[in-house]
Structure 1
Amino acid sequence: MELSPDLLRKLEGLAKIRLSPEEEALLLDDLKRILDFVDALPQVEEVAEEAALGRLREDIPRPSLSQKEALALAPEGEEGFFRVPPVLE
C-alpha cells in the first residue's frame, strides 16, 4: 500500500485529529516503515511444528483456587461467575 499525503489527511479526518506539517511528515515516514515491515512478514520462514513443540513446557495440572475461593476474592460475582462492568454501551 502506498501512503501519500492525501491518504494521511483522509486518515486524520477519520481519526478526528489535526496534525502540523512537521507531525504529518514524521507520521508519514513512520507509517511507511510500519507498512514495509508488515509487507515483509510473509517472507519470514515458518517454524516446523515439531521444533515449536519442543520449546513448550509440558502442561501439568497444579493446585489452584476453587471456584468459590476465586469468587470470594472478586469485587462482585453472580451465579458462579465474575461480574464486571459492561464494556460496550
Structure 2
Amino acid sequence: MRLDKYLQLSRLIKRRTSAKEACLAGRVQINGKIAKAGSEVKEGDEITLTWGNRLTKVKVVQVPLRNVPAAQAKTLYQLLEETTIRTEE
C-alpha cells in the first residue's frame, strides 16, 4: 500500500493530500530513510512522522485492504514514541 494512503487510513494524518505534502517536505521516514508518498508500506515497517510540533514513531502492525472504521484505525499501528518538539523563539 502507498505510504500516503496508509497515513490517511490509519488516521495518523487526516487527508491523503496532506500526507503527500508531508512526504514531499521530507517529514516522513520509513525505517530511518526519507520516504516518498508512493513508497510501499509493509507490516513491520517503522514510520517516523514530524507533523506540526509533534514527532510520532509507529510500527506498522497491519496493512488494510480497504477503508477501515475510525475505531479500528488505531489497531493498524503500534505507537512507539510520541514527543513534542520545542521550537526556539
What is the TM-score when the length of structure 1 is the normalising length?
0.23
Q: Which has the higher strand share?
A: 2
What is the TM-score when the length of structure 2 is the normalising length?
0.23
**Structure ID, larger Rg:** 1
